[in-house]
Amino acid sequence: QETGLQYKKFMAYPWILTVTWPVDMDNEDYPLIRTGPYWKKFKANFCEFIAVLVQQCQCSILYDSYLMDTIISLLTGLADSMVRAFRHTSTLAAMKLLTAVVSIRLNLDVNKHNAQRLYEVEKKRISGKRTNYRLDQLERKRKEVRQVSCMELR
């Protein structure tokens, strides 16, 4: 609404959102290449939407293979379109999607490395026969990060 675009939600599937903008058939401009603060804001919001979508889905439906497969097939189909606006928009969306997924993977690798390092430091700190609550907690965290990492690789 902030960018002035019209949108509608389908009654049967409320999670499907259709965005439309007025199209001037004589003009080859489309929202991503138009100039001015209004369209710059639109482009920034479009890119941010994709990043936020991936960020919000990182712990749940990102790994179910349905969402990502559907989005990728949609973007692939649009990138093969005869309409330049669709090709450009889908390519930008695909790049932002990939950037967001790589960012999540990088954060996951950092968390995995940190959990492993903390576990090893705590293990060296305590004597071999005593158990420690902190060590157990770090072991659970390490296993959890490893499990999420394995889910992502599927």
- 10 CB-side CA count, 13 A: 7
The answer to whether 33 and 84 are in contact (CB under 8 A) is no
Domain-wise residue ranges, the chain: 2-152
Which helix (H) or strand (E) is 20 found in, with range?
A: strand 17-20
The answer to whether 37 and 2 are in contact (CB under 8 A) is no
Residue with the larger pLDDT of the pair 79 and 18: 79
> Across all residues in the chain, what is the average pLDDT?
76
Taking only the tens place, the pLDDT of each residue in 86-119 is 889 999 999 999 999 899 889 888 988 888 888 8
What are the tokens at 16? 């499907």
Residue 43 neighbours by CB under 8 Å, 6+ apart:
31, 32
Dist. CA 15–CA 5, nearest whole Å = 18
Cβ burial of 89 (10 Å; 0-12, 13-18, 19+) is buried
Taking only the tens place, the pLDDT of each residue in 62-94 is 777 788 888 889 999 988 888 888 889 999 999
Which helix (H) or strand (E) is 17 found in, with range?
A: strand 17-20
Is this prediction's pTM over 0.85?
no
Which helix (H) or strand (E) is 6 found in, with range?
A: strand 6-9
Dist. CA 12–CA 24, nearest whole Å = 31
